[in-house]
């Protein structure tokens, strides 16, 4: 509920954390989920940290009523915080959809939404299957693989195709290689530190992570810029891909998007559209092979399908859907989502001032015993037995900023899983409990899930 500025504001705050923000940030870098769990145990499902030189005052909460209050509030109650989103800005750029507010945000979402939903989305079904089959064809029986490398390769190719309408050629290869190397710069907590601490952002040459980060980013921008110019100057190169959509778009004053705006949006789609899907897919392979019962039920359902190109049927397979949902519940790739207050706001009976950041925790909400009994157990059946509200289950966030690509991600993951597992049998080499570890601003299974190819059906 939003209060008007004239409402009397009671100085009433939830439990206040005692640990200095610098220490909290370092702890969050190395053990985000453990930290959240410890704080929730100590302070409850809403706790507050006062303003510091590093961050504005912030609240972390994991209560469905609170989440509902945020998702259903007037979007103008919130804005993007410059301080808390600094790492996202470094990666994606100032004009990223994830960093826009108000009318600009609404307009860009409307423009970018169609390719990721409905029939337009389903028209990528064959591309997703073709790309996946190409990847399988590289494997040999007996080979040990890190499955995340391959799910990343698939999701990167798919998003490049959606964005540029192409998935091969020298320009594609160059961009693909640069992106993979760039993302590898922060493939661990240590290497991600510079994203979160500005004083580590010193360009001391190519051998420092920050130096590497800047140089690679510049190269990626150069390729994107040349592709944007090509489309702007040659209308016959325009197709139905996202880049063409953005190049053709005009605002109310008939002005086109600037090159920087288009470039940051391309970076957003490239990043948000493949890292997250790649890590979730890796977790899905892990759970299916770590729990033989789950794999058996999954295969029984898969074997009952005659036509794997019948995408409508695949999208509706109950057990497949439940495996995907349970993975996103137990292993969310985004830990916390923030909304920064533009005006006083009442949340769960507490009143927070403008300038406070509200962070709802996807992880802690998905770990609530009262909603998910035995929350640490992987149990797809929970999703067959009951429906969860959007405030209890929120792997894609919610409200007016809900993930733009959620339907596309679900579609892609279901097609990749069914295509690979209808042909390939694996043995899980990482047959042990796996931790979720930081990869820049998202989370991924530790080591990327090592598997051995046991059999490939023709």
Q: Is 273 in the site for ligand HEM (CB under 6 A)?
A: yes
DSSP class of residue 50 equals -
Per CB under 6 A, 397 contacts ligand HEM: yes
For ligand HEM, what does the binding mask look like between residues 318 and 337, x meaning CB under 6 A?
---------------xx--x
From the number of C-beta atoms within 10 Å of its C-beta (0-12, 13-18, 19+), residue 138 rates as exposed
Contact predicate 43/14, CB 8 Å: yes
Q: Kindly give the residue spans of alpha helices, DSSP state H, lying in 185-274.
A: 189-196, 209-233, 242-248, 259-272
78-79 sheet: strands from edge to edge: 15-16, 46-49, 58-61, 357-361, 336-341, 78-79
Per-residue x/- mask for ligand HEM, residues 116 to 135, rule CB under 6 A?
A: x-------------------
Taking the complex as a whole, the smallest distance from the CB of residue 421 to ligand HEM amounts, in Å, to 18
The contact mask relative to ligand HEM for 398-417 (x = CB under 6 A, - = no) is x--xxxxx--xx--------
Q: Which stretch binds ligand HEM (CB under 6 A): 125-133, 228-236, 269-277, 340-348?
A: 269-277
What is the rounded CA–CA span in Å between residue 49 and residue 251?
41
Q: Report the nearest approach of ligand HEM to the CB of residue 44 (Å).
A: 23
d(CA 74, CA 52): 28
Tokens of 230: 């090509």
Nearer to ligand HEM, 56 or 209 (CB): 56
Closest CA to 353 of 24, 56, 44: 56
Interface pick for ligand HEM out of 40, 46, 70, 97 (rule CB under 6 A): 97
Exactly one of 183, 272, 330, 417 binds ligand HEM (CB under 6 A); that residue is 272
60 and 362 Cβ atoms separated by less than 8 Å: no
Q: Taking CB under 6 A as the rule, does residue 106 contact ligand HEM?
A: no
Count residues binding ligand HEM (CB under 6 A).
Answer: 25
Question: Does 151 participate in binding ligand HEM (rule CB under 6 A)?
Answer: no
Closer residue to ligand HEM in complex, CB, 227/284: 284
Site for ligand HEM in 239-258 (CB under 6 A): none
**Region of 16-24, 60-68, 203-211, 273-281 interacting with ligand HEM (CB under 6 A):** 273-281
Distance CA 433, CA 37 (A): 18
Tell me the helix, strand and coil percentages in the chain, rounded to 5: 55, 10, 35
Among the listed ranges 228-236, 275-283, 308-316, 382-390, the one in contact with ligand HEM (CB under 6 A) is 275-283
DSSP 8-state symbol, 117: S
Give the binding site for ligand HEM (CB under 6 A): 97-98, 109, 116, 268-269, 272-273, 276-277, 280, 333-334, 337, 395-398, 401-405, 408-409
């Amino acid at each position: 509920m939003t209060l008007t500025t004239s409402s009397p504001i009671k100085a009433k705050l939830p439990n206040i954390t005692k640990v200095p923000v610098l220490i909290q940030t370092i702890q969050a870098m190395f053990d985000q989920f453990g930290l959240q769990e410890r704080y929730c145990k100590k302070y409850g499902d809403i706790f507050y940290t006062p303003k510091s030189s590093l961050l504005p005052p912030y609240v972390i909460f994991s209560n469905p009523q609170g989440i509902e209050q945020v998702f259903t509030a007037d979007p103008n109650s919130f804005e993007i915080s410059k301080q808390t989103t600094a790492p996202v800005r470094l990666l994606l750029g100032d004009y990223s959809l994830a960093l826009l507010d108000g009318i600009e945000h609404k307009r860009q979402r409307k423009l970018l939404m169609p390719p990721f939903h409905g029939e337009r989305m389903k028209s990528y079904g064959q591309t997703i299957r073709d790309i996946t089959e190409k990847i399988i064809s590289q494997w040999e029986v007996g080979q040990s693989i890190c499955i995340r490398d391959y799910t990343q390769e698939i999701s990167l190719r798919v998003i490049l195709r959606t964005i540029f309408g192409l998935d091969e050629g020298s320009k594609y290869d160059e961009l693909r290689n640069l992106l993979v190397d760039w993302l590898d710069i922060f493939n661990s907590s240590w290497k991600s530190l510079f994203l979160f601490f500005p004083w580590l952002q010193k360009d001391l040459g190519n051998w420092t992570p920050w130096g590497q980060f800047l140089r690679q980013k510049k190269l990626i921008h150069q390729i994107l810029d040349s592709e944007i110019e090509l489309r702007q100057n040659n209308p016959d190169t325009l197709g139905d891909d996202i880049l063409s959509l953005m190049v053709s778009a005009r605002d109310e004053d008939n002005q086109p998007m600037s090159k920087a705006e288009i470039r940051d949006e391309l970076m957003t789609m490239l990043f948000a559209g493949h890292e997250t899907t790649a890590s979730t897919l890796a977790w899905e392979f892990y759970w299916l092979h770590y729990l033989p019962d789950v794999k058996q039920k999954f295969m029984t359902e898969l074997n009952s399908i005659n036509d794997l190109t019948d995408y409508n049927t695949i999208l509706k397979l109950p057990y497949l859907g439940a495996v995907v949902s349970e993975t996103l519940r137990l292993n969310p790739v985004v830990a916390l989502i923030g909304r920064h207050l533009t005006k006083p706001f009442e949340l769960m009976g507490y009143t927070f001032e403008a300038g406070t950041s509200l962070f709802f925790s996807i992880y802690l909400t998905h770990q609530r015993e009262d909603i998910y009994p035995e929350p640490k157990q992987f149990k797809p059946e929970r999703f067959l037995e009951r429906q969860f509200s959007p405030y209890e289950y929120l792997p894609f966030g919610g409200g007016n900023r809900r993930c733009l690509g959620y339907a596309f991600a679900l579609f892609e993951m279901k097609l990749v899983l069914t295509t690979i597992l209808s042909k390939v049998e694996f043995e899980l080499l990482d047959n042990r409990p796996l931790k979720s570890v930081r990869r820049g601003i998202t989370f991924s299974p530790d080591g990327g899930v090592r598997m051995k190819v046991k059999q490939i059906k023709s």
